[in-house]
Structure 1
Amino acid sequence: MNTTAEILEETAHLINTMGLHRGAQFAADDSDAVDICAAAYLAAEGTCPPEFSTDEITSIAIIEASAPAMTAIKAISDALDSGVCESEIVPGLWVPEYIEHVSNWAATPPIGEKTPPTVSEVIGRIHRAINLLATQTPAAHAA
Protein backbone atom coordinates (compact mmCIF):
# COMPACT_ATOMS: atom_id res chain seq x y z
CA MET A 1 0.00 0.00 0.00
CA ASN A 2 1.33 3.42 -0.92
CA THR A 3 1.94 6.13 1.65
CA THR A 4 0.10 9.42 1.42
CA ALA A 5 3.32 11.07 0.21
CA GLU A 6 3.60 8.51 -2.60
CA ILE A 7 -0.04 9.06 -3.57
CA LEU A 8 0.57 12.81 -3.66
CA GLU A 9 3.70 12.34 -5.82
CA GLU A 10 1.65 10.25 -8.24
CA THR A 11 -1.15 12.85 -8.16
CA ALA A 12 1.33 15.53 -9.24
CA HIS A 13 2.71 13.23 -11.94
CA LEU A 14 -0.78 12.46 -13.28
CA ILE A 15 -1.70 16.13 -13.48
CA ASN A 16 1.59 16.87 -15.23
CA THR A 17 1.11 14.13 -17.82
CA MET A 18 -2.68 14.00 -18.24
CA GLY A 19 -3.55 17.63 -17.69
CA LEU A 20 -5.65 19.43 -15.10
CA HIS A 21 -9.39 19.51 -15.75
CA ARG A 22 -11.09 22.63 -14.38
CA GLY A 23 -14.51 22.33 -15.97
CA ALA A 24 -17.74 20.62 -15.04
CA GLN A 25 -17.44 17.16 -13.53
CA PHE A 26 -14.20 15.57 -12.29
CA ALA A 27 -12.82 14.52 -15.67
CA ALA A 28 -12.98 15.81 -19.20
CA ASP A 29 -14.96 13.68 -21.63
CA ASP A 30 -12.86 14.83 -24.58
CA SER A 31 -9.34 14.40 -23.15
CA ASP A 32 -7.40 12.60 -20.41
CA ALA A 33 -7.44 15.65 -18.10
CA VAL A 34 -8.73 15.11 -14.57
CA ASP A 35 -9.64 17.33 -11.65
CA ILE A 36 -7.08 17.49 -8.82
CA CYS A 37 -9.29 15.30 -6.58
CA ALA A 38 -9.88 12.79 -9.37
CA ALA A 39 -6.10 12.66 -9.85
CA ALA A 40 -5.70 11.87 -6.14
CA TYR A 41 -8.30 9.11 -6.48
CA LEU A 42 -6.60 7.72 -9.58
CA ALA A 43 -3.23 7.79 -7.78
CA ALA A 44 -4.69 6.00 -4.76
CA GLU A 45 -6.96 3.48 -6.49
CA GLY A 46 -5.42 3.05 -9.95
CA THR A 47 -8.65 3.66 -11.81
CA CYS A 48 -10.73 6.55 -13.11
CA PRO A 49 -14.42 5.61 -13.03
CA PRO A 50 -16.51 6.71 -16.02
CA GLU A 51 -18.80 8.61 -13.64
CA PHE A 52 -16.02 11.16 -13.18
CA SER A 53 -16.96 12.69 -16.54
CA THR A 54 -20.73 12.36 -16.20
CA ASP A 55 -22.03 12.49 -12.61
CA GLU A 56 -20.66 14.89 -10.00
CA ILE A 57 -22.67 13.53 -7.05
CA THR A 58 -21.66 9.93 -7.73
CA SER A 59 -18.07 11.03 -8.31
CA ILE A 60 -17.93 12.69 -4.91
CA ALA A 61 -19.32 9.55 -3.27
CA ILE A 62 -16.75 7.39 -5.07
CA ILE A 63 -13.87 9.65 -4.02
CA GLU A 64 -15.14 9.91 -0.43
CA ALA A 65 -15.28 6.09 -0.23
CA SER A 66 -11.51 5.91 -0.79
CA ALA A 67 -9.69 6.48 2.50
CA PRO A 68 -6.27 6.84 0.82
CA ALA A 69 -7.59 9.39 -1.70
CA MET A 70 -9.35 11.38 1.02
CA THR A 71 -6.20 11.40 3.16
CA ALA A 72 -4.27 12.80 0.19
CA ILE A 73 -6.98 15.39 -0.55
CA LYS A 74 -7.03 16.45 3.11
CA ALA A 75 -3.24 16.85 2.98
CA ILE A 76 -3.60 19.15 -0.04
CA SER A 77 -6.38 21.07 1.73
CA ASP A 78 -4.13 21.51 4.76
CA ALA A 79 -1.46 23.03 2.48
CA LEU A 80 -3.81 25.68 1.08
CA ASP A 81 -3.90 29.22 2.41
CA SER A 82 -7.71 29.30 2.62
CA GLY A 83 -9.81 27.50 5.19
CA VAL A 84 -11.93 24.48 4.44
CA CYS A 85 -15.72 24.89 4.39
CA GLU A 86 -17.95 22.72 6.53
CA SER A 87 -21.44 21.39 5.91
CA GLU A 88 -23.99 20.43 8.54
CA ILE A 89 -25.12 16.92 7.59
CA VAL A 90 -27.47 16.57 10.56
CA PRO A 91 -28.25 19.19 13.20
CA GLY A 92 -25.09 19.80 15.18
CA LEU A 93 -22.85 17.54 13.07
CA TRP A 94 -20.53 19.48 10.76
CA VAL A 95 -18.08 17.84 8.36
CA PRO A 96 -15.26 19.44 6.38
CA GLU A 97 -15.73 19.67 2.61
CA TYR A 98 -12.18 18.74 1.55
CA ILE A 99 -13.09 17.81 -2.04
CA GLU A 100 -14.91 21.09 -2.63
CA HIS A 101 -12.08 23.05 -1.00
CA VAL A 102 -9.32 21.50 -3.10
CA SER A 103 -11.24 21.33 -6.41
CA ASN A 104 -12.43 24.92 -6.13
CA TRP A 105 -8.94 26.16 -5.23
CA ALA A 106 -7.44 24.52 -8.34
CA ALA A 107 -10.19 25.74 -10.66
CA THR A 108 -11.01 29.22 -9.41
CA PRO A 109 -9.05 32.47 -9.72
CA PRO A 110 -7.95 33.81 -6.33
CA ILE A 111 -9.49 37.08 -5.17
CA GLY A 112 -8.11 39.89 -7.30
CA GLU A 113 -6.82 37.55 -10.02
CA LYS A 114 -8.25 36.73 -13.43
CA THR A 115 -6.94 33.18 -13.80
CA PRO A 116 -6.82 30.12 -11.55
CA PRO A 117 -3.50 28.75 -10.32
CA THR A 118 -1.31 27.44 -13.13
CA VAL A 119 -0.66 23.72 -13.46
CA SER A 120 2.84 24.37 -12.11
CA GLU A 121 1.37 26.15 -9.09
CA VAL A 122 -1.05 23.27 -8.47
CA ILE A 123 1.79 20.74 -8.67
CA GLY A 124 3.89 22.98 -6.42
CA ARG A 125 1.12 23.04 -3.83
CA ILE A 126 0.90 19.25 -3.95
CA HIS A 127 4.65 19.13 -3.25
CA ARG A 128 4.12 21.56 -0.38
CA ALA A 129 1.55 19.11 1.03
CA ILE A 130 4.17 16.34 0.79
CA ASN A 131 6.67 18.51 2.65
CA LEU A 132 4.10 19.33 5.34
CA LEU A 133 3.40 15.64 5.80
CA ALA A 134 7.11 14.97 6.20
CA THR A 135 7.42 17.58 8.93
CA GLN A 136 4.28 16.40 10.73
CA THR A 137 5.04 12.68 10.55
CA PRO A 138 8.63 12.02 9.50
CA ALA A 139 8.11 8.26 9.42
CA ALA A 140 5.24 8.60 6.93
CA HIS A 141 7.57 10.02 4.28
CA ALA A 142 10.17 7.32 4.81
CA ALA A 143 7.69 4.42 4.88
Structure 2
Amino acid sequence: MSTRTQDFLSNFLAAAASCDADRVVECFASDCRFDLPVHPARGFVGREQARRNWSTIFETVPDLSIELLDAAHHGDTCWAELKYSGTRTDGSPHLMHGVIVITVDAESRLSKARFYVEFVDSSEVSITEHLEAMQDSAHIAAGRP
Protein backbone atom coordinates (compact mmCIF):
# COMPACT_ATOMS: atom_id res chain seq x y z
CA MET A 1 0.00 0.00 0.00
CA SER A 2 1.07 3.52 -0.71
CA THR A 3 1.36 5.74 2.32
CA ARG A 4 0.94 8.80 0.08
CA THR A 5 -2.41 7.67 -1.32
CA GLN A 6 -3.60 6.69 2.15
CA ASP A 7 -2.50 10.10 3.45
CA PHE A 8 -4.34 11.82 0.61
CA LEU A 9 -7.59 9.95 1.30
CA SER A 10 -7.38 10.67 5.02
CA ASN A 11 -6.64 14.37 4.47
CA PHE A 12 -9.30 14.74 1.76
CA LEU A 13 -12.05 13.07 3.80
CA ALA A 14 -11.23 15.24 6.84
CA ALA A 15 -11.20 18.37 4.67
CA ALA A 16 -14.52 17.46 3.05
CA ALA A 17 -16.04 16.81 6.49
CA SER A 18 -15.09 20.37 7.47
CA CYS A 19 -17.21 21.70 4.56
CA ASP A 20 -14.42 24.22 3.90
CA ALA A 21 -13.65 24.55 0.17
CA ASP A 22 -10.22 26.08 0.81
CA ARG A 23 -9.27 23.17 3.04
CA VAL A 24 -10.40 20.67 0.37
CA VAL A 25 -8.43 22.48 -2.33
CA GLU A 26 -5.28 22.30 -0.19
CA CYS A 27 -5.42 18.53 -0.81
CA PHE A 28 -4.86 19.14 -4.55
CA ALA A 29 -1.69 20.02 -6.46
CA SER A 30 -1.75 23.48 -8.05
CA ASP A 31 -1.93 21.96 -11.54
CA CYS A 32 -4.34 19.18 -10.60
CA ARG A 33 -6.27 17.58 -13.44
CA PHE A 34 -9.82 16.24 -13.14
CA ASP A 35 -11.20 14.06 -15.94
CA LEU A 36 -14.77 12.79 -16.14
CA PRO A 37 -14.62 10.12 -18.86
CA VAL A 38 -18.41 9.75 -18.99
CA HIS A 39 -18.82 13.56 -19.21
CA PRO A 40 -15.63 14.71 -20.98
CA ALA A 41 -16.69 18.36 -21.33
CA ARG A 42 -16.80 18.66 -17.51
CA GLY A 43 -13.08 17.99 -17.06
CA PHE A 44 -10.83 20.80 -15.82
CA VAL A 45 -7.35 21.67 -14.62
CA GLY A 46 -6.34 23.71 -11.58
CA ARG A 47 -7.21 24.64 -8.06
CA GLU A 48 -9.29 27.71 -8.91
CA GLN A 49 -11.95 25.68 -10.70
CA ALA A 50 -11.77 23.06 -7.95
CA ARG A 51 -12.36 25.81 -5.36
CA ARG A 52 -15.38 27.11 -7.30
CA ASN A 53 -16.75 23.57 -7.58
CA TRP A 54 -16.36 22.74 -3.89
CA SER A 55 -17.75 26.13 -2.82
CA THR A 56 -20.85 25.45 -4.90
CA ILE A 57 -21.14 21.90 -3.56
CA PHE A 58 -20.96 23.05 0.08
CA GLU A 59 -23.42 25.92 -0.57
CA THR A 60 -25.86 23.51 -2.22
CA VAL A 61 -25.35 20.51 0.11
CA PRO A 62 -24.29 22.06 3.44
CA ASP A 63 -24.42 18.73 5.29
CA LEU A 64 -22.45 16.79 2.67
CA SER A 65 -20.93 13.57 3.94
CA ILE A 66 -18.42 11.49 2.00
CA GLU A 67 -17.92 7.89 2.99
CA LEU A 68 -15.00 5.80 1.80
CA LEU A 69 -16.52 2.40 1.00
CA ASP A 70 -13.35 0.73 -0.25
CA ALA A 71 -9.93 1.55 -1.66
CA ALA A 72 -7.13 -0.19 -3.49
CA HIS A 73 -3.63 1.27 -3.53
CA HIS A 74 -0.83 0.72 -6.03
CA GLY A 75 2.18 3.01 -6.06
CA ASP A 76 1.05 6.63 -6.38
CA THR A 77 -2.42 5.63 -7.58
CA CYS A 78 -5.49 4.53 -5.67
CA TRP A 79 -8.98 3.47 -6.62
CA ALA A 80 -11.46 4.84 -4.10
CA GLU A 81 -15.13 3.86 -3.97
CA LEU A 82 -17.05 6.74 -2.42
CA LYS A 83 -20.59 7.54 -1.34
CA TYR A 84 -21.62 11.20 -1.25
CA SER A 85 -24.80 11.97 0.69
CA GLY A 86 -26.63 14.87 2.22
CA THR A 87 -29.61 17.15 1.77
CA ARG A 88 -29.67 19.98 -0.73
CA THR A 89 -30.84 23.42 0.36
CA ASP A 90 -34.10 22.83 -1.53
CA GLY A 91 -34.77 19.84 0.76
CA SER A 92 -34.11 17.14 -1.85
CA PRO A 93 -31.75 14.27 -1.10
CA HIS A 94 -28.25 14.28 -2.56
CA LEU A 95 -26.82 10.82 -3.22
CA MET A 96 -23.92 9.86 -5.46
CA HIS A 97 -21.84 6.69 -5.67
CA GLY A 98 -18.82 5.73 -7.70
CA VAL A 99 -15.13 5.24 -8.06
CA ILE A 100 -12.39 7.83 -8.45
CA VAL A 101 -8.98 6.80 -9.76
CA ILE A 102 -6.55 9.15 -8.01
CA THR A 103 -2.87 9.81 -8.63
CA VAL A 104 -0.96 11.74 -5.99
CA ASP A 105 2.29 13.69 -6.05
CA ALA A 106 5.27 13.50 -3.68
CA GLU A 107 3.40 15.69 -1.13
CA SER A 108 0.35 13.35 -1.08
CA ARG A 109 -1.70 15.88 -3.02
CA LEU A 110 -4.03 14.88 -5.81
CA SER A 111 -2.34 15.49 -9.13
CA LYS A 112 -4.82 13.67 -11.36
CA ALA A 113 -8.27 12.16 -10.89
CA ARG A 114 -10.66 10.27 -13.14
CA PHE A 115 -14.22 10.45 -11.81
CA TYR A 116 -16.63 7.60 -12.38
CA VAL A 117 -19.19 8.97 -9.92
CA GLU A 118 -22.85 9.45 -10.77
CA PHE A 119 -26.08 10.41 -9.07
CA VAL A 120 -27.98 7.40 -7.80
CA ASP A 121 -31.03 6.64 -9.94
CA SER A 122 -33.83 6.09 -7.45
CA SER A 123 -36.35 4.96 -10.05
CA GLU A 124 -37.76 1.46 -9.71
CA VAL A 125 -36.90 0.47 -13.30
CA SER A 126 -35.47 -3.05 -13.52
CA ILE A 127 -32.65 -3.95 -15.90
CA THR A 128 -35.16 -5.73 -18.14
CA GLU A 129 -37.40 -2.64 -18.31
CA HIS A 130 -34.38 -0.44 -18.96
CA LEU A 131 -33.17 -2.64 -21.83
CA GLU A 132 -36.67 -2.87 -23.32
CA ALA A 133 -36.94 0.93 -23.29
CA MET A 134 -33.53 1.17 -24.95
CA GLN A 135 -34.63 -1.33 -27.60
CA ASP A 136 -37.91 0.55 -28.16
CA SER A 137 -35.95 3.81 -28.65
CA ALA A 138 -33.67 2.13 -31.17
CA HIS A 139 -36.67 0.80 -33.11
CA ILE A 140 -38.32 4.22 -33.18
CA ALA A 141 -35.07 5.86 -34.34
CA ALA A 142 -34.78 3.26 -37.10
CA GLY A 143 -38.41 3.83 -38.15
CA ARG A 144 -39.49 0.34 -37.05
CA PRO A 145 -42.54 -0.37 -34.90
Q: TM-score, normalised by structure 2?
A: 0.33
Between structures 1 and 2, the one with greater helix share: 1
Between structures 1 and 2, the one with greater strand share: 2
> Which is greater in Rg?
2
Q: TM-score, normalised by structure 1?
A: 0.33
